[in-house]
Amino acid sequence: MTAPIAPLTQIMREYADPSACPVRNVLDHLGDKWSVLIITALAHRPYRFGELRREIADISQRMLTQTLRDLQADGLIEREVFPTTPPSVEYRLSPMGKSFVVPLSAMVDWAFEHFPAIKEARAEFAKAA
Amino acid sequence: MTAPIAPLTQIMREYADPSACPVRNVLDHLGDKWSVLIITALAHRPYRFGELRREIADISQRMLTQTLRDLQADGLIEREVFPTTPPSVEYRLSPMGKSFVVPLSAMVDWAFEHFPAIKEARAEFAKAA
DNA sequence: CATGGTGGTTCCCTCGAGGTAACCAGTGGC
DNA sequence: GCCACTGGTTACCTCGAGGGAACCACCATG
């Protein structure tokens, strides 16, 4: 199982400026506290703002708005306003967002599968120290 | 392409405490500034401390030490000290670390592939605002 | 008239990730 | 004697992500 990632040296050389490196640029954005959770929710069906707020119980309204805006700016989600009273807003994954679910779910599966081993490793490491 | 991720509702309900949720627990750790970069480097071959420091040009010695310790605590990398003078230290991926390279490289590939589209989406979003 | 539910925005504050720099022991080279 | 390289540790500081609460307009309900 040789690593299929391009050599780091090459990547680092090509994208000396971290903000220009695709990996660091994209993954840093998605590595925040809420993006993955929101995308996971939207992977199942479109959600309205309030629904998401209730679903992700411990997110603040401020961060929900902000993270949704960032994901929308990156083109991962689409926002649609319905002129009802009161106006309701629906968020859904864009095609690109849906394509992101594939590698994301691979990571999620990995996390579930190896979580016990990681917990054990942490306990052993703490014991050794 | 239906999302193969378990329903968020179910996950959130099962792991009400965020620190007990495998996904948030594991991915938050790996979502820091340097873990992915270090794992990417080690995916190709073992590295010595100083080698890593030079390879990842813009990491501080402090964060390199700390991130390596965290990855070691999670059981993703192994540390071996050689009793040379001066003592040298080699870091390599553990079997679990190697298994993580699979989903990680899927994400890296996705990032490379969609980076142009993301940049375009950002530009368009900024223009619209 | 007041309250609650739409989907936000704005201000203020905290806390911790991460950067910088100095220092350590031991040894080899000039 | 002085410097450099090995792989660190420690103290100090900054800056921004994120939390909390208040506020907004609009409408329906009681």
Tens of pLDDT, residue by residue over B86-100, are 999 999 999 999 999
* CB of B58 within 7 Å of some strand C atom: yes
What pLDDT is attached to residue B2? 47
Residues in chain B: 129
B19 belongs to a structural domain: no
What pLDDT is attached to residue A17? 79
Its sign, for the CA torsion A67, A41, A31, B73, is positive
Return the DSSP state at A1. Answer: -
What pLDDT is attached to residue A9? 66
Percent of chain A beyond pLDDT 70? 92
What pLDDT is attached to residue A2? 47
Q: Report the residue of chain A nearest B39, measured CA to CA.
A: A8
Which segments in chain B show pLDDT lower than 70? 1-9, 12
Domain that holds residue A70: 31-128
What tokens appear for B81 in the block? Answer: 């000290």
Q: Which nucleotide is nearest to B90 (CA to C1')?
A: D7
Peptide bond into A18 cis (omega under 30): no
B57 belongs to a structural domain: yes
A44 belongs to a structural domain: yes
Domains in chain A: how many in total? 1
What pLDDT is attached to residue B96? 98
Of A12, A44, A124, the CB nearest to B3: A44
B74 belongs to a structural domain: yes
What pLDDT is attached to residue A14? 78
Our measurement of CA A63 to C1' C14, in angstroms, reads: 16
* CB of A73 within 7 Å of some strand C atom: no
Q: Which residues does strand D reach (CB under 7 angstroms)? A: A 32-34, 58-63, 67, 85-86; B 48-50, 61-62, 65, 68-69, 79, 86-89
Which segments in chain A show pLDDT lower than 50? 1-3
What tokens appear for A70 in the block? Answer: 């960032």
CB contact under 8 A, A8 and B37: yes
- Residue A52 CA to residue B57 CA, distance in Å, equals 40
Instruction: State the pairing for strand pair B88-93/B77-82.
Output: antiparallel
- Residue A20 CA to residue B53 CA, distance in Å, equals 21
Q: What is the CATH number of the domain that holds B110?
A: 1.10.10.10
B26 belongs to a structural domain: no
B24 belongs to a structural domain: no
Mean pLDDT, chain A, integer: 90
